[in-house]
């Protein structure tokens, strides 16, 4: 299974937030959209950062409630790890595990196609494993 198939199934809906938004505004968007991260795009639509729940927690832990008034640009992750649509689930999971991230923008030719979460990948991996078990059972059972 490749990421392109997952995006086709789940859709390419991507939530973003402006880097000038406050952390409070970003937190409200994370909550209302029921997501754990949002991408930050430049004017050309290229990914320049990712803002996650973890970034929010770190900012508040370091600066207290005053952090909520600071812009996303001060707390977003700028070292963006991405994947290609042809990458396998296993490759994406390995990359996410190695970098300790839970959201992976899928990019091709500089264009953002979607975002997969570790939850998306685990769901698909479990479905694959279940299908394999069912195939083995049908093979060994008359």
pLDDT in tens, 27-78: 999 999 999 999 999 888 889 999 999 999 999 999 999 999 999 999 999 9
Q: Please give the residue that has the higher pLDDT: either 121 or 43.
A: 121
28-32, 79-83, 133-137: lowest mean pLDDT where?
A: 133-137
pLDDT of 11: 81
Q: How many CA atoms lie within 13 A of 113 on its CB side?
A: 19
Query: With bands split at pLDDT 50, 70 and 90, how would you rate the model's confidence at 138?
Result: confident
Whether the pLDDT of residue 22 is over 80: the answer is yes
Q: What's the rounded mean pLDDT across residues 111-127?
A: 90
DSSP per position, 35-101: -SEEEEE-TTS-EEEEEEHHHHHHHHHHHGGGGGGSBGGGTSB-S---B-TT-BHHHHHHHHHHHT-
Whether the pLDDT of residue 142 is over 80: the answer is no
Which domains, from first to last, does the chain contain? Answer: 3-140 (3.10.580.10)
């Amino acid at each position: 299974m490749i990421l392109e198939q997952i995006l086709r199934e789940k859709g390419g809906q991507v939530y973003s937030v402006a880097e000038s938004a406050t952390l409070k505004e970003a937190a409200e968007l994370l909550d209302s959209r029921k997501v754990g991260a949002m991408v930050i795009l430049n004017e050309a639509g290229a990914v320049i950062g990712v803002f996650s729940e973890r970034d929010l927690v770190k900012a508040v832990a370091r600066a207290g409630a005053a952090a909520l008034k600071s812009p996303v640009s001060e707390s977003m992750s700028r070292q963006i790890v991405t994947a290609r649509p042809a990458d396998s689930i296993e490759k994406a999971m390995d990359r996410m595990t190695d970098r300790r991230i839970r959201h992976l923008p899928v990019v091709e030719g500089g264009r953002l196609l979607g975002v997969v979460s570790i939850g998306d990948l685990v769901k698909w991996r479990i479905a694959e494993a279940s299908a394999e078990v069912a195939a083995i059972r049908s093979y060994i059972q008359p």
